[in-house]
Amino acid sequence: MLGELPESSSLFFSGGIDSTLIALRLSELKRTDVNMVNYVSGPNDISDYLASQVAKHLNLPINKVYFNPNDIPDILNNIIRDYSYPFVDASTFIGNDLARLTLKKLGNTPVILDGSGADCIFVGDMPIYLKFDKLYKVPLVAQKAISEAYKTFDMWKSYTPLIKPFRAFRRTALMPIQSLELGCIFDGITYNIPDQILNNLKGMYTDNISALFEGYEENTKRLNDYKFTSVLNVIKASSSGSSAKSYDFLRRNGVKLVCPFFDPKVLRLNYSIPWDQKTSEEPKALLKKMLVPQIPQELINFPKQAFLPIHEILDNEVMRDYIDTLVFNQNGPLCEFFDIKTVRRIFNHRHKHMDADFFTHLWIIIFTSIWIEQLKTSFSSKYQSAIK
């Protein structure tokens, strides 16, 4: 697949395990014409160093693009143009900005490669589920009591080591391990999902899709749960997660987005590997083995962590205007679904404590509100033009 790429294609490259696996294969194929593009989101973004070092070892050229707060208004004002549905992943902003900057820097690039999906396909996120598995062994009554304490005492205001277990139980009390990704700590705090809808949601991700596992040899219940979760994560990521953050924008500009880890050949390879070879308490253990010895161990184990310019985004003047007129407005698009007062409290607390969970939740509300409002405006203007 990579050998057949058109000339001057590009790769979104962070220097992390997933994109490095693709870059390694490109290096083996001597595809030095492929542009590796690294997004630097701020002075604390360590992927700047990591990407440069990995590219040097692979002897591949690398292009740097940089986050600029001045680009925020253009992204926000064109949400309805860039997204066919309100996609609300925390990395939406960076994904969109990276796509824009790549085209601006490189001009015409026929194909862009995205390394998303390797985690859920090769079970690189297994350590997360191993940790949560211990919490699920606690009686459900106790889980719900701890979860309720998180809500009652406004523990969302901090994320200290003492609070972390409360937040974790907030998720386990809501969803079984197979559907852990669907659990949100703010359910019951800023919004309420009716029990019937919540149960139906659980059913869609357990009972209805369990048919996928008919005929599988089940060694233990625990492994069956993880197999189940792994397949569901692949379905979720491939259908609505990995590429959606930039797909519509790139397609509109004539660029094809390709996620190699979701290629059917790669998926078949993945499911031919014995389960015990893929599971490990070390994150991405199998993927890391694939990089040895071409990449030095210190770079493979380098503590990569995406730097999200949260405050620059939330404090932007245009963003604040959208928040005030759409999110905190009693007549806003989502005012019937969220407790506006609590959302305002969370927003006002952002400079004291704001991690990825909080930003994602605020982004869901903000992004969806803007998308709906821009959709209404678009329909209204087209209707007015049609009747003239």
What is the CB neighbour count within 10 angstroms for residue 348? Answer: 9
Q: Which of 327, 336, 331 is nearest to 363 (CA)?
A: 327
Specify if 305 maps to a domain: no
CATH number, position 96: 3.40.50.620
Q: How confident is the model at residue 161, as a pLDDT? A: 85
Residues 113 and 256 in one domain: yes
Contact 18, 50 (CB under 8 A): no
For residue 260, whether the previous peptide bond is cis, meaning omega lies within 30 degrees of 0, is no
Residues 18 and 111 in one domain: yes
Q: Which of 211, 231, 251 is the last residue of a domain?
A: 231
Dihedral angle of Cα 123, 27, 263, 183, to the nearest 10 degrees: 30
Specify if 388 maps to a domain: no
Residues 180 and 286 in one domain: no
Expressed as residue numbers, the domain containing 177 is 126-231
What is the CB neighbour count within 10 angstroms for residue 216? Answer: 11
Specify if 369 maps to a domain: yes
Q: How confident is the model at residue 123, as a pLDDT? A: 64
Q: How confident is the model at residue 365, as a pLDDT? A: 93
Specify if 194 maps to a domain: yes
Question: What sign has the CA pseudo-torsion 335, 341, 344, 345?
Answer: negative
Chain-centre distance for alpha carbon 3: 28
CA atoms within 13 A on the CB side of 213: 20
What is the CB neighbour count within 10 angstroms for residue 309? Answer: 20
pTM assigned to the model: 0.87
Residues 172 and 226 in one domain: yes
Specify if 64 maps to a domain: yes
Chain-centre distance for alpha carbon 81: 21
DSSP lists the bridge partners of residue 62 as 36
What is the CB neighbour count within 10 angstroms for residue 324? Answer: 11
Residues 208 and 247 in one domain: no
Q: How confident is the model at residue 3, as a pLDDT? A: 84
Contact 190, 182 (CB under 8 A): no
Cα–Cα distances (Å) from 21 to 257, 303, 313, in that order, read 17, 17, 31
Residues 28 and 104 in one domain: yes
Residues 101 and 8 in one domain: yes
Residues 13 and 88 in one domain: yes
Domain count, the chain: 3
Residue ranges in the chain modelled with pLDDT below 50: 220
Q: How confident is the model at residue 135, as a pLDDT? A: 93
What is the CB neighbour count within 10 angstroms for residue 289? Answer: 11
Angle among Cα 340, 342, 344 to the nearest 5 degrees reads 70
Q: Residue 229: CB partners within 8 Å, gap ≥ 6?
A: 129, 177, 178, 180
Q: How confident is the model at residue 227, as a pLDDT? A: 67
Q: Which of 176, 206, 231 is the last residue of a domain?
A: 231
Residues 273 and 333 in one domain: no
Any idea what DSSP says for residue 6? Answer: P
Residues 165 and 185 in one domain: yes
- Overall size of the chain counted in residues: 388
Cα–Cα distances (Å) from 319 to 90, 249, 329, 334, in that order, read 15, 20, 14, 17
Q: How confident is the model at residue 228, as a pLDDT? A: 65
Q: How confident is the model at residue 205, as a pLDDT? A: 64
Any idea what DSSP says for residue 65? Answer: E
Q: Which of 321, 366, 320 is nearest to 343 (CA)?
A: 366
Q: Which of 274, 300, 326 is the last residue of a domain?
A: 300
The tokens for 350 are: 């952002």
- Classified as helix, coil or strand, 191 is strand
Q: How confident is the model at residue 331, as a pLDDT? A: 93
Residue type present at position 11:
L
Residues 81 and 163 in one domain: no
The tokens for 62 are: 């690398």
Q: How confident is the model at residue 306, as a pLDDT? A: 63
Residues 314 and 296 in one domain: no
